[in-house]
């Protein structure tokens, strides 16, 4: 399993477009450029660049077709390799593995009030956050675990955060078990990976910074 990450940069925006955009088919280019904010354009572009680089460098896959499942989750056609992309503030991450997975990254915003999200928590989760010495840290630990599981499950917005509870890094959704693992990428961000495959519990990902 590998995790690639990089940061968006307004100063490098045009040079990134000039360098990487031509490498993608016209329809993908249109999809990237449909965003109005430069940040969203870069998130979309760099997520695909990280995936392309990771597949070629670590899995010897130079060309791969991405298909979209009915649940809107992308998948590599003709390859038993799985990926997931996430971004927050300035950070973009892409996880690639031999089994289905989800990854979530969140910027640790000190202005966040966890009480604004109480309706999305179970009673046990809320209690854990309130009992923590660093409530903001506990909140983001809760948040990235939940989001990573939702992305691994593939239900997207159809699955509410309070519909399942993670205990000891495990949970069940519709009789399917999921496992989570905290990952460190940067001190200003919280990151978690999740999968229905137990390998995620013991995996030590190769974490690589992608530098222009």
Q: What is the pLDDT of residue 157?
A: 64
Q: From CA 134, how far away is CA 138, in angstroms rounded?
A: 6
| pTM, entire model | 0.94
What is the CB neighbour count within 10 angstroms for residue 53? 18
| Both tokens assigned to 68 | 């979209």
How far is Cα 183 from Cα 3, in angstroms, rounded to an integer?
10
pLDDT score for 68: 74
Query: Residue 63: what pLDDT?
Result: 81
pLDDT at residue number 199 = 95
pLDDT of residue 99: 94
**Alpha-carbon distance values, 168 to 11, 130, 145, 199, 211 (Å):** 43, 18, 11, 15, 35
The torsion region of residue 6 among left (phi > 0), alpha (psi -120 to 50) and beta comes to: beta
pLDDT of residue 66: 81
Pairing relation of β-strands 189-195 and 2-7?
unpaired
Cβ(92)–Cβ(104) under 8 Å? Answer: no
CATH class of 2-209: alpha beta
Per-domain residue ranges of the chain: 2-209
pLDDT beneath 70, residues of the chain: 70-72, 156-157
pLDDT the model gives residue 159:
82
- pLDDT score at 82: 94
The confidence score (pLDDT) of residue 155 equals: 74
Contact between residue 148 and residue 195 where contact means Cβ atoms under 8 Å apart: no
- Interhelix angle 38-59/26-33, rounded to 10 degrees, is 140
């Amino acid at each position: 399993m590998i995790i690639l990450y990089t940061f968006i940069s307004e100063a490098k925006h045009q040079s990134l477009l000039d360098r990487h955009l031509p490498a993608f088919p016209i329809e993908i280019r249109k999809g990237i450029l449909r965003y109005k904010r430069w940040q969203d354009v870069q998130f979309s572009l760099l997520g695909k660049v990280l995936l392309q680089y990771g597949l070629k460098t670590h899995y010897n896959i130079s060309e791969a077709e991405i298909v979209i499942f009915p649940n809107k989750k992308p998948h590599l056609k003709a390859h038993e390799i799985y990926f997931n992309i996430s971004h927050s503030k300035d950070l973009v991450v892409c996880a690639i593995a031999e089994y289905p997975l989800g990854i979530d990254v969140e910027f640790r915003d000190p202005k966040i009030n966890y009480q604004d999200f109480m309706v999305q928590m179970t009673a046990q989760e809320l209690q854990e956050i309130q009992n923590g010495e660093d409530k903001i840290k506990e909140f983001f630990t809760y948040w990235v675990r939940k989001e990573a599981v939702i992305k691994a499950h593939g239900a997207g917005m159809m699955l509410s955060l309070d519909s399942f509870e993670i205990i000891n890094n495990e949970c069940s959704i519709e009789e399917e078990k999921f496992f989570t693992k905290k990952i460190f990428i940067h001190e200003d961000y919280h990151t978690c990976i999740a999968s229905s495959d137990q390998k995620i519990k013991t995996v030590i990902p190769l974490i690589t910074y992608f530098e222009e």
